[in-house]
Amino acid sequence: MTTIFLDFETSGLNPYYADIIEIGAKILGSDDYFEALVKPQSGERLTYAISEITGITPKMLMYHGKDWKNAYMDFYNWLLDNLDPNETNTIVCHNGNGFDFIFLKRILRDLREKLETDISIFEEINIVYIDTLPVCKRLFVNLRSFKQVHLAEKLRIKNYGEHRALADVCTLRDIYVKILVHLAKRGITTSEEVLAYANLDI
């Protein structure tokens, strides 16, 4: 089973309209990762406020960012190379349901509709999508904040940085490993069971 941790840095907080400006992904138990700065698909200049939060500047995107078409295709191919079509795979995000998973759906839609890419292979792969936010809210009910930085502090793990995709992914990976230890004590061991726990089904 492959577990992939995923994070997007974006030009704004609205997952239906903001541009993706950075993609970061890493595989559990492997040194393999994906990282790319992305030129805004809308062509709009990155705001000063977002640059302050992320450290990503318009100049960085101009000189080091990939065209969104190439970035999306490279990321899609990386996913296909690493997801196992014969097993259950897991993609993990923090606040994925309200943010990152929406951007992933937008990437797949743009690949299919704008780049005329056949994504049927991806759609046939068995993937469990886990949002660690509801899991953590259920596990750590008295925590003052469920931001990754506070979860890292709570779980006494290294915070690799904030608001850069690959750094957030590395922090999320370590948080998820600690979460799995807590869940195993409750008899929850599979991705399907973690998802059911997040959804209050068990």
DSSP secondary structure letters along 103-131: HHHHHHHHHHHTS----HHHHTS-EEEEE
| Predicted pLDDT at 182 | 95
Is 80 exceeded by the pLDDT of residue 22?
A: yes
| Predicted pLDDT at 50 | 96
pLDDT tens-digit profile of 39-76?
999 999 999 999 999 999 999 999 999 999 999 999 99
| Predicted pLDDT at 15 | 96
- What percent of the chain clears pLDDT 70, i.e. is strictly above it? 100
| Predicted pLDDT at 147 | 92
CB 139 within 8 A of CB 188: no
| Predicted pLDDT at 142 | 87
| Predicted pLDDT at 7 | 96
CB 175 within 8 A of CB 155: yes
pLDDT tens-digit profile of 88-145?
999 999 999 999 999 999 999 999 999 999 999 999 999 999 999 999 999 998 888 9
- Mean pLDDT within 20-26: 97
Q: How far apart are CA 40 and CA 18, in angstroms?
A: 9
CB 5 within 8 A of CB 180: no
pLDDT tens-digit profile of 152-171?
989 999 878 777 788 899 99
Is 80 exceeded by the pLDDT of residue 87?
A: yes
